[in-house]
Structure 1
Amino acid sequence: METDMDSVRVESSLWIGNKRYRAFLSGWYFSWTEIDKGNREKKTISVPVSEVIGVKEGRVEIQPQKKVEDTDLDFTLFHVNRNSRGNAQGLTWSLGRTQFCCPSRAVRDQWITQHRTALKTHSPSRPHRLLVFINPFGGKKRGKQIFHSLVSPLFELAGISSHVVVTERANQARDYILKKDLTGFDGVICVGGDGMFSELLHGVIGRTQQEAGVSENDLTAMLQPCDLHIGVIPAGSTDCVCFTTVGINDPVTSALHIIIGDSQPLDVCSVHDQSTVVRYSVSLVGYGFYGDVLEESERHRWMGPLRYDYAGCMVYMCNRSYSGLVQYLPSDSQISSPRDNTRCLSGCRVCSESKERLFPHFDSSTSLYSSNVSQYSTELEGEWVTVEGTFKCISLTCVSSSCPRSPKGLSPSAHLADGTADLILVRDTNPLSFLTYLHRHTNKQDQFDLPFVEVHRVKAVRFSLPPGEEEDFEEEEEKIQSSAERVLEDPGKLCSNNIAGHSQQHLTGQKEKATSTSRLKRPGFVCGPCCTKPRSVSVWNCDGEILPQTEISCRIHGQLVRLFARGIEDSTRA
């Protein structure tokens, strides 16, 4: 049976400069082959119709600035170009431009018409209207410049309209998505870092569950998959989510993935405190070292991105470890393992085969993201495993969490959309051994091949303090709270109360504020032998946000959201 796509067929001679080509549009590709003076075929170039950005009459340039020369015989084709760059895991995409000259205007018009027909037929899921949030303060504060100089011209070329919101406060994007009318938008885009992405993530998930009547607070409930796609234009400090799902943190590459309507499902971890959902996470839920680093870095925000290096050194020299009781529900080791040395690349078999397992009652004749799924899940059934001990750090990640500084990430073999996360337990060890573990994140050595490190692929995790530690924790909190209250009454006693790392400016707020945030105002870190008395508990780092809760439960929701991405492309095939 002949399809609409098969009927799109046109062939003729075209010229690029002084060279003649035989051009052919049929099926899924547009190809042109150079013909020499002896009428012999030479090199052929093929572009998938799905990667054509647009076709324009005349001679058109977009970069470095827009330039249009209207001619009767010419048309300009814009498409995706690929190349590898530096330490990127994936391929860099750039805007390719090829200018063709036709033998007549009628032939030119035929080519343009057929190209546009092919685009509509082959790429019906391309976005037409986007809601864009720009964080003007993230990273190097170049969000607005990146969007208007690099991204907006590409959207205009592809015929995409965008409504732009420049955020002025934290959680503004989340609140906008939760409360405003989003009718007509095909996706939401963040121009910023991982913090801005987290806002969009919480907004999209929250709105979807509200409209579906699903309780987010119920740990056993199966959340409704989100239909509204999320796009990420990297403009932050680390851009972990973008690097993990695309393989590079390049704004143009991400913009082109958005334009052609790429769709990548992504697992999400929900973090609960008893009967309340606290946050959603994609890249890291970390306790111990990573929690302490974030907490210390918050005291030095004036340092910019350098605060993370500084905080890391300070926390490492304190050489702290924490007692904990970890319970986890393991996934099926026959499907995949965090030690199988595989990589989740574009078209990953493990992720593509997970849909049927994650949604067993799904009707394939309808869209998963536009129909209600079963209200309750069987994913939490199974035998839980308990691990008790003293840990340097505990990490849970749904993805590899790779970034430019750590190209392999926390868990190199983690998958984007298989409904699992990797639980990494680093037990107490000497400082040199722990430094070896940290250093292996930056090279090609296996960071799990150490006697004090274990990793498990899991579907759910619970963390609690061991018996006896809870009383010590409550006593410590009372001391911290009492010290904070005394300083509020008499700021001059700040030094004598030994609350290191806090300035008087941080402690002169209202007394009620000190009470509500007492768990976040712990004693600061001091180098080496001058460290304050070891604390009994750490804090949780949830995608760059400190959680006030210590005892939490986590559950992985497979393929809950979709990004404008396709996973990391294999650079060896470039």
Structure 2
Amino acid sequence: MSSDSNVLDLSEVIAVTPVEKHGGQRNKDGFSDIELTPISCSRFAVHYVEKKRGRVWRPGRVTFKCQDPTVCREWIDRLQERLNQEYLRPRRLLVFVNPFGGKKRGVQIYQQKVAPLFDLARIKADVIVTERAGHAQDLLQELELNKLDGIVCVGGDGMFSEILNGLIVRTQQEAGVDKDWLAAELVRPHLRIGIIPAGSTDAVSYATVGVNDPVTSALHIIIGDCQPLDVSSVHYRSQLLRYNVSFLGYGFYGDVVRDSDLRRWMGPTRYDYSGFKKFCRRKIYEGEVAFLPCADQGSSPYDQIRCTEGCLVCKQAGEKNKPTPFNPSEEPRAVETFGPGGWQRVRGRFIAINAATNSCACKKTPKGVSPAAHLADGCTDLILIHATPRYRFLGHLLKHLTDSDRFNHSFIEVYRVREFKFRPVIIEETEDEQVEDEEAGVLSRRNRRRNTRRNSVWNCDGEIIDQPAVDVKVHCQLIKLFARGIEETKQSSCWPVGCFCA
């Protein structure tokens, strides 16, 4: 092969199409305007993934000329046949578009940036524009899903959470699994989920692809990338509250999401406003956290190596956590052994209690809440931020904007855990109460003791859970995304690219 030759990886070819003699022209969005020509054409175009700086992907195109039109048609047919053999590539998708999330550009993003690419790749898409909160989750309990190759959400983290919860709940119902049983071995859905970022934060997309770009995400879907992802189930008193894949926060972050939810009219800036407001108030919450560490994981929240494409830690976790067949007759059991190798407890006064099932990276915090967290290792990083003066807490927050170690503070404890429980402490207050003495005809004072709850709420991937007392368990690689993890250009300790989904 000569030094000026170029090689196209067939796994990253989008489509093969016949073209006019002079080829197509590119429009302002970078897409090729393709016009199909009769069988007698002598040129064909190969559309492929062109990787730009910053993990951004764009559709590229190279045109080939054949002297004989028959040879040209044979090339097209052979290449198309080879693409059809890529079994991970989707052929039919169900697409939910949220027209209200972020800057309310979901429909525009899909029509202008995503739909042309799906058409080029010959993907049939059934599109539903949601009309209200919870609409997608409700429809997923009713629609026929057997003929689909995946589900795509065009929206933010809230929209993704809807589809995630709807798909997992339906899968457990069809398999006869009790979703409210914390110790249940959940059944993995067979459909992958794709995310086209169109929300305010888009943390899940950023943490799994490395950039929030609709075209890049669409191309990951087209070529059939596969990335397993851990899911945490949040329970209270034997009742499932919600499934979570990214961030779970009580205290400061719970107060922020509760306040910002009242100001959706402000758009994405509501998070900055509510964050500043709650930082100034700096409420303290008392409670007890019990957790089960990941003792045999071989990784730590303090690691310097990030979870990247083909991560070895996630690969090994998948091999250790192969799903076991569900047995409906199996009796529930819960074993809690406190001490070395078992459950541990921490009681205190906290500004925040956070759990990061992945790095929770986004544009505002490029390294994330927990930079060394993994996408699919079966663990979550439990971050306990104890009560501290406001200026020290500010120092911790500012480190999220840089590469500095955000855990290097005496008031912060971090543990990599498989499960954890939180119970708020009931605070007893004494107050004076005026009562009237009917015999004496005068007012007198007496002390009355009462129990009050000063509780926050949980921020569950941007959604609110009002119940402060929760039990959380991580389910290793429960779902699959149309993604491949964050690509790194430098040599790392990860395995070569490849889908290791079961």
State the TM bucket, normalised to the shorter chain. Answer: 0.7 to 0.9
Task: Tell me, in whole angstroms, the C-alpha distance in 2 between the residues paired with 1:345 and 1:353.
Answer: 14
Following superposition, the deviation at residue 267 of structure 1 comes to 0.4
Distance change (3 Å), C-alpha of 1:443 and 1:275: same
Query: Which residue is 2:395 aligned to?
Result: 436
Deviation per CA, 1:201-225: give whole Å up to 9, x if none: 0111011001100000000111101
Deviation per CA, 1:46-100: give whole Å up to 9, x if none: 1111111110112454842634263621000000010123xxxxx1111011111
Query: Which residue is 1:396 aligned to?
Result: 355
Match of 2:4 among 43, 50, 62: 43
Distance change (3 Å), C-alpha of 1:446 and 1:303: same
Classify the secondary structure of the residue corresponding to 1:291.
Answer: helix
Query: Which residue is 1:543 aligned to?
Result: 461
What RMSD, in angstroms, separates the aligned Cα atoms of the two structures?
Answer: 2.2
Following superposition, the deviation at residue 543 of structure 1 comes to 1.1
Counterpart residue identity of residue 103, structure 1: Q
Q: TM-score, normalised by structure 2?
A: 0.87
Question: How is 1:152-551 mapped onto 2 (pairs within 5 angstroms)?
Answer: 152-359=115-322, 361=324, 372-373=325-326, 383-466=342-425, 468-469=426-427, 536-551=454-469
Following superposition, the deviation at residue 380 of structure 1 comes to 6.8
Task: Tell me, in whole angstroms, the C-alpha distance in 2 between the residues paired with 1:50 and 1:373.
Answer: 35
Task: Tell me, in whole angstroms, the C-alpha distance in 1 between the residues paired with 2:25 and 2:326.
Answer: 44
Q: Report if aligned partners of 2:249, 2:458 keep a CA contact under 8 Å in 1.
A: yes
Task: Tell me, in whole angstroms, the C-alpha distance in 2 between the residues paired with 1:442 and 1:412.
Answer: 12
Counterpart residue identity of residue 33, structure 2: K
Task: Tell me, in whole angstroms, the C-alpha distance in 2 between the residues paired with 1:56 and 1:378.
Answer: 58
Classify the secondary structure of the residue corresponding to 1:459.
Answer: strand
Whether 1:557 and 2:475 are equivalent positions in the alignment is yes
Q: Report if aligned partners of 1:329, 1:459 keep a CA contact under 8 Å in 2.
A: yes
Classify the secondary structure of the residue corresponding to 2:478.
Answer: strand
Query: Which residue is 1:104 aligned to?
Result: 68
Distance change (3 Å), C-alpha of 1:62 and 1:455: farther
Q: Report if aligned partners of 1:136, 1:166 keep a CA contact under 8 Å in 2.
A: yes
Deviation per CA, 1:279-315: give whole Å up to 9, x if none: 1111111011100111111222221211110111110
Counterpart residue identity of residue 8, structure 2: V
Distance change (3 Å), C-alpha of 1:381 and 1:569: farther
Task: Tell me, in whole angstroms, the C-alpha distance in 2 between the residues paired with 1:545 and 1:72.
Answer: 54
Distance change (3 Å), C-alpha of 1:379 and 1:412: farther
Counterpart residue identity of residue 472, structure 2: C
Counterpart residue identity of residue 458, structure 1: V
Q: Report if aligned partners of 2:306, 2:373 keep a CA contact under 8 Å in 1.
A: yes
Match of 1:128 among 69, 76, 91: 91
Query: Which residue is 1:115 aligned to?
Result: 79
Classify the secondary structure of the residue corresponding to 1:154.
Answer: helix
Query: Which residue is 2:445 aligned to?
Result: none
Match of 2:17 among 38, 48, 56: 56
Query: Which residue is 1:66 aligned to?
Result: 33
Following superposition, the deviation at residue 332 of structure 1 comes to 2.1
Match of 1:81 among 36, 50, 55: 50
Query: Which residue is 2:438 aligned to?
Result: none
Following superposition, the deviation at residue 106 of structure 1 comes to 2.7
Classify the secondary structure of the residue corresponding to 1:223.
Answer: coil
Counterpart residue identity of residue 434, structure 1: F
Query: Which residue is 1:566 aligned to?
Result: 484
Deviation per CA, 1:448-473: give whole Å up to 9, x if none: 1111111110000100023x43x56x
Gaps of 5+ in 2: 432-451, 493-502
Following superposition, the deviation at residue 561 of structure 1 comes to 0.7
Q: Report if aligned partners of 1:379, 1:459 keep a CA contact under 8 Å in 2.
A: no
Distance change (3 Å), C-alpha of 1:62 and 1:428: farther
Deviation per CA, 1:379-414: give whole Å up to 9, x if none: 976610000011110001211000000001010011
Counterpart residue identity of residue 93, structure 1: W
Task: Tell me, in whole angstroms, the C-alpha distance in 2 between the residues paired with 1:398 and 1:173.
Answer: 24
Distance change (3 Å), C-alpha of 1:344 and 1:62: farther
Gaps of 5+ in 1: 1-32, 34-40, 86-90, 362-371, 477-533
Classify the secondary structure of the residue corresponding to 2:152.
Answer: strand
Task: Tell me, in whole angstroms, the C-alpha distance in 2 between the residues paired with 1:141 and 1:83.
Answer: 27
